[in-house]
Amino acid sequence: ALKIVTIGGGSSYTPELIEGYIKRKDELPIKEIWLVDIEEGKEKLAIVGEMAKRMVKAAGLPWTVHLTLNRREALKDADYVSTQFRVGLLNARIKDERIPLSHGVLGQETNGAGGMFKAFRTIPVILDIIKDMEELCPDAWLVNFTNPAGMVTEAAIKHGGWKKTAGLCNVPIGHRKQAAEKLNLPEDELFFKFAGINHFHWHRVWDKTGKERTAELIDLIYGPQSETESHLKNIHNVPFHYEQIKDLGMLPCGYHRYYYIEDEMLEHSIEEFKKGETRAQVVKATEARLFELYKDPNLDYKPKELEERGGTHYSDAACELIASIQNDKRTDMVVSTANNGTITDLPYDCIVEVSGPVTSHGPEPYNWGAFPPAARGIIQMMKGMEETVIRAAIDGDYGTALHAFTVNPLVPGGVMAKTLLDELLVAHKEHLPQF
């Protein structure tokens, strides 16, 4: 019988996770679900935790749901540990977004200056969690959902030494659904290969006759006749430049907008900033509405309103990954995992986001090979930036942090890098003991 733990259990996403377990009840012999949070998230945990209990009860399942602020009690003998915490909660995200924007620079919770600070706050905590896991549940799988998911997963595997870690994101799921819809084919008749790093990956698509459909999809989704769409609630729907994507020969992920059309994304973000409507501010209001709904003692299913969050359908990643490991299902999934030569342009031991079956011993990614030159340079730079961010997060070295900021393509200029770094270090001081 399984003991599953979620760290950051007070997140408004928790009903998504519970729904995913309920859907897979025949594949997951769950006994206990433990939701862990901290003092700051106590009230959220109580509200969404009661909601989780009602969902399990309504499904007629004998699982027990435990709410606790004691992480060690929860981790004892755990089989799977999923993480979905945000150090500093949404108020910290508001700073991640608004401080760079106040200097006319993109602020984003996973990319750019904001994402680097989210990594600085999060990596020490994930390494601490791993120390507890070594002692309390040495065989457990760590399913990391906490952003920036690629960097946090790399810190866990390479620096924490927790090999049984898989990083997840819902973006590839959206792209799979989008391709199936555009080609008017069932998703399971298509074969997908994704490669890159978290929020910076590309993909190719084949049908079951063996024919590659990537170029056709580029036309259907980004061509002159198509109506542009960002299937992510959190990413502004700005069209890519069709000719450039066509030249690339791979489908970009939604987050590539921040790089390929950075200037236009920045313009939109600045407008939102001026109106006091950056994504974190919008999400704060959505979260408040969600928790009002969760308080209703009659609500025992995931409400539609949760789709207003960018991470919708994430349980299709998290719960399916657990079911696939548990049952050696070999579901074809996109996971942040050790490269091991899958992408020849990137270091062997770094973490990449790639496709492949998930077995009982973890993901076994398909070989990808090399990227075309136009993608090779930028992904190597992005990976170098990530490695530098991780090193700064661990060592707390100012020079390393400044280097990460200087290398990040969303931070323009070394002087601006220093200005932003200095201001963010002060703003987030209480969550950065290492600096």
Question: Would you give the binding string for ligand G6P spanning residues 112-151, x where CB under 6 A is met?
Answer: -----------------------------------x----
* Distant-in-sequence, close-in-space partners of 27: CB < 8 Å, separation ≥ 6: 323, 326, 327, 329
CB atoms within 10 A of CB 301: 14
Q: Which stretch binds ligand G6P (CB under 6 A): 215-223, 228-236, 381-389, 422-430?
A: 228-236
261 binds, among ligand NAD, Mn ion, ligand G6P, none (CB under 5 to 8 A by kind): none
Establish if 234 lies at the interface with ligand G6P (CB under 6 A).
Answer: yes
The residue of the chain with the least Cβ separation from ligand G6P equals 310
Q: Using the minimum distance from each CB to ligand G6P, give the nearer residue, 130 or 232.
A: 232
Rg of the chain in Å (alpha carbons): 21
Short-list 142, 118, 145, CA closest to 132: 142
90 binds, among ligand G6P, ligand NAD, Mn ion, none (CB under 5 to 8 A by kind): ligand NAD
Establish if 101 lies at the interface with ligand G6P (CB under 6 A).
Answer: no
Q: Rounded to an integer, what distance in angstroms lies between the CA atom of residue 405 and that of residue 42?
A: 34
279 binds, among Mn ion, ligand G6P, ligand NAD, none (CB under 5 to 8 A by kind): ligand G6P
146 binds, among Mn ion, ligand G6P, ligand NAD, none (CB under 5 to 8 A by kind): ligand NAD
Helices (H) and strands (E) in the chain, counts: 16, 12
Query: What is the bridge-based pairing of β-strands 200-206 and 191-197?
Result: antiparallel
For the annotated catalytic residues, the residue numbers are 255
Contact pick of 123, 169, 407, 432 for ligand G6P (by CB under 6 A): 169
3-state helix, strand, coil in the chain (%, to 5): 50, 15, 35
Contact pick of 311, 362, 363, 365 for ligand G6P (by CB under 6 A): 311
CB of 407 to Mn ion, least distance (A): 6
Q: Rounded to an integer, what distance in angstroms lies between the CA atom of residue 178 and that of residue 172?
A: 10
The two three-digit tokens of residue 212, written as one number: 């590659």
Q: Which stretch binds ligand NAD (CB under 6 A): 39-47, 212-220, 293-301, 364-372?
A: 39-47
**Cis amide bond preceding 148, omega within 30:** yes
Backbone angles phi, psi at 258, to 5 degrees: -65, -20
Short-list 378, 154, 365, 148, CA closest to 250: 378
Decide if 355 contacts 369 (C-beta within 8 A). Answer: no
8: alpha, beta or left, given left = phi > 0 and alpha = psi -120 to 50?
A: left
What does the binding site for Mn ion look like in residue numbers (CB under 5 A)?
A: 169, 411
Contact pick of 63, 192, 258, 314 for ligand NAD (by CB under 6 A): 314
Number of residues that bind ligand G6P (CB under 6 A): 13
Establish if 170 lies at the interface with ligand G6P (CB under 6 A).
Answer: yes
Establish if 44 lies at the interface with ligand NAD (CB under 6 A).
Answer: yes
E strand residue ranges, 56-154: 64-68, 80-83, 141-144
Contact pick of 11, 111, 342, 388 for ligand NAD (by CB under 6 A): 11
CB of 353 to ligand NAD, least distance (A): 10
CB of 174 to ligand G6P, least distance (A): 8
Contact pick of 6, 82, 111, 147 for ligand NAD (by CB under 6 A): 147
Q: Using the minimum distance from each CB to ligand NAD, give the nearer residue, 121 or 193.
A: 121
Instruction: Tell me the torsion sign for CA atoms 245, 169, 128, 115.
Output: positive
The alpha helices in 162-261, defined as continuous H runs, are 171-183, 214-222, 242-248, 257-260
Note the residues at the interface with ligand G6P (CB under 6 A).
Answer: 110, 147, 169-171, 232-234, 279, 283, 309-311
Note the residues at the interface with ligand NAD (CB under 6 A).
Answer: 7-8, 10-13, 36-38, 40-41, 44, 84-87, 89-90, 125, 145-147, 149, 168-170, 311, 314
